[in-house]
Chains A and B, each alone.
Chain A
């Protein structure tokens, strides 16, 4: 440190001299994000074109908002939007509270080895690849599959391939999501619970509060910030139903309940090569998604002082 009264200004020239090697290291990082993240953003202009790859972005015909009009006015728009909202809404209404209840229940288990063992086992489905999980779902829900047998015998439903019937898709998707993600999804809440002050529990125990009352009056308020953060962020992700599971499970006979925005983009863009149209749908999704994410992040910061961005 120099002791001059007015310290030298930190100019670019000075910074270059001091941190020359940092600039060199920054080049590959900059190029990576430029090419794989920013170029595609500029590439979104093809949403306003009848894009033909052989003609390129500059040579393709401009069509204005035609692709957007095709999407919003198309026969599938409301179905796709409904499916997207229902599938993520079900996740929020069912999986999310279940995860919290599960975390609270796990917290009540005092026997350490039992807790560790079941927790490890409950994480397991998270690590199994989606391909294998979907392979199992397809197998178990086939006409003679185990789950079909069970439902036929217990509830007397008609014997059929459950994945061919649009009525069952939401349930199959929800239950398999819970199976795959419950244990892992609870990690966040389990760790939030451990940070709730022990002295509160002791005080409540002295006041004669039972376990249930303590869970309700101490643990739950203690992890409310965590819950709010997660809930708000889930709201921000409501249009981002991932395509990788649905692409593996769905088929033409259940598009009416299984087709969501991301699968629609994939089918129209990659399989049917309607690049302009699919890009427009993706742009709509990105813009709405970003607005929702920023809004919910803002709400989360206001409510609990935490956010992701």
Chain B
């Protein structure tokens, strides 16, 4: 297409590119500030009032040393990794099974099961009854409270269902002729074919679990040893309680100076892994949004 380069066109382009670049800076600047602050000299950091473009004072890794020597943060990291891995593997496995069951047209329970699952998208018991149920079956202050509930999402089941439905039935028929059993057909033949949709489910559950703090705050109030990283981060960043990280003999003297530094370091420690990963995973998120039609 040939474009005329009239003045208004040029002006529009300047404004448009300018806006896009400016918003990109607005997206990055706060994080850049946090990264630079986390490397700063705590004395200089306290005096700083503006956005940091480079570390205040000489670069130090003192804050990170404190954070990584801290059992809470390391334990939280471990728990988060466990929850992320569990939902990515076990959660996705059951989502896959559920999606397959409701895609089988020759299965008499297909429609009842589909309605049973879809109804939960429309209506739910809400926080308090769910809390009471989990309490009754012992899923309060217990690692499993983070692992069993939330394992299967109705929305993703529907997504997997439509992925299975788009496969040609000939795959299954020819595998059957070759003598493959039903489970072999499902896991060896059909599942690899819907890998793109499965990847979307895995990516969403990884990011959701990594960033999730709310369920843990409700269901694990007393068991700090099971807390995911985000809950320790909330303690430091939102409830402003850095005392549990800066411990030791000279804690009181140092606390004021270093508490700021620790906050920044904790933010980076909790964010960096996902920031490094998302540019490679973004195509799955784009796909998830367009597949699902609506989400977010």
Contacts and interface: CB of A to CB of B under 8 A. Distances in A.
A165 interface: no
A180 B274 CA distance: 15
B205 to A, nearest CB: 14
28 contacts: A18-B106, A29-B94, A29-B97, A32-B152, A35-B133, A36-B133, A37-B125, A40-B125, A42-B125, A43-B128, A53-B135, A105-B19, A105-B20, A108-B16, A114-B20, A121-B27, A127-B275, A128-B271, A131-B213, A136-B30, A188-B290, A201-B1, A262-B127, A265-B126, A265-B127, A269-B131, A286-B126, A294-B122
Given A29-B101, A130-B211, 20 more contacts: A21-B182, A22-B101, A29-B98, A33-B120, A39-B129, A43-B130, A43-B132, A105-B20, A118-B21, A121-B28, A132-B237, A132-B270, A134-B238, A138-B237, A181-B296, A201-B1, A229-B294, A265-B128, A286-B123, A290-B123
Main SS at interface, chain A: helix
A23 B109 contact: yes
B290 A120 contact: no
B288 to A, nearest CB: 9
B233 interface: yes
A248 B238 contact: yes
B125 A44 contact: yes
A129 B230 contact: yes
Contacts of B218: 266, 270
B94 A28 contact: yes
Given A22-B104, A279-B129, A282-B126, A146 B50 contact: yes
Contact of A279 (B27, B126, B150): B126
A210 to B, nearest CB: 7
B184 to A, nearest CB: 11
Nearest to A265: B127
Contacts of B100: 25
Contact of A118 (B24, B182, B211, B278): B24
Contacts of A41: 123-125, 129
A253 interface: no
Interface of A: 10, 12, 15, 18-19, 21-23, 25-26, 28-30, 32-33, 35-44, 46, 51, 53, 105-106, 108-109, 111, 114, 117-118, 120-132, 134-136, 138-140, 144, 146, 149, 179, 181-185, 187-188, 191, 201-202, 205, 210-212, 229-230, 233, 243-244, 247-248, 262, 265-266, 269-270, 275, 278-279, 282-283, 285-286, 290, 293-294, 306, 308-309
A213 B210 CA distance: 44
A279 B125 CA distance: 9
B113 interface: yes
Interface in B87-102: 94, 97-98, 100-101
Contacts of A35: 133, 137
Given A270-B127, A286-B123, A136 B34 contact: yes
Contact of A187 (B31, B98, B290): B290
Interface residues of B, number: 89
A128 B275 contact: yes
B14 interface: no
Nearest to B19: A105
Contacts of B104: 19, 22
A191 B289 contact: yes
B233 A131 contact: yes
Contact of B24 (A44, A122, A201, A243): A122
Contacts of A12: 108
Contacts of A243: 214
B182 A279 contact: no
A109 B113 contact: no
A247 B214 contact: yes
B130 A212 contact: no
A248 B94 contact: no
B62 interface: no
A210 B263 contact: no
A149 B133 contact: no
B183 interface: yes
Closest CB pairs A-B (n = 4): A40-B125, A135-B237, A43-B129, A282-B126
B117 interface: yes
A308 B24 CA distance: 32
A260 to B, nearest CB: 13
B70 interface: no
Nearest to A243: B214
Given A41-B125, A282-B128, A10 B108 contact: yes
Given A118-B21, A134-B238, A46 B106 contact: no
A36 B122 CA distance: 15
Q: Choose among A46, A118, A286, A306 the residue with the greatest number of B CB atoms under 10 Å from its CB.
A: A118
Contacts of A187: 285-286, 289-290
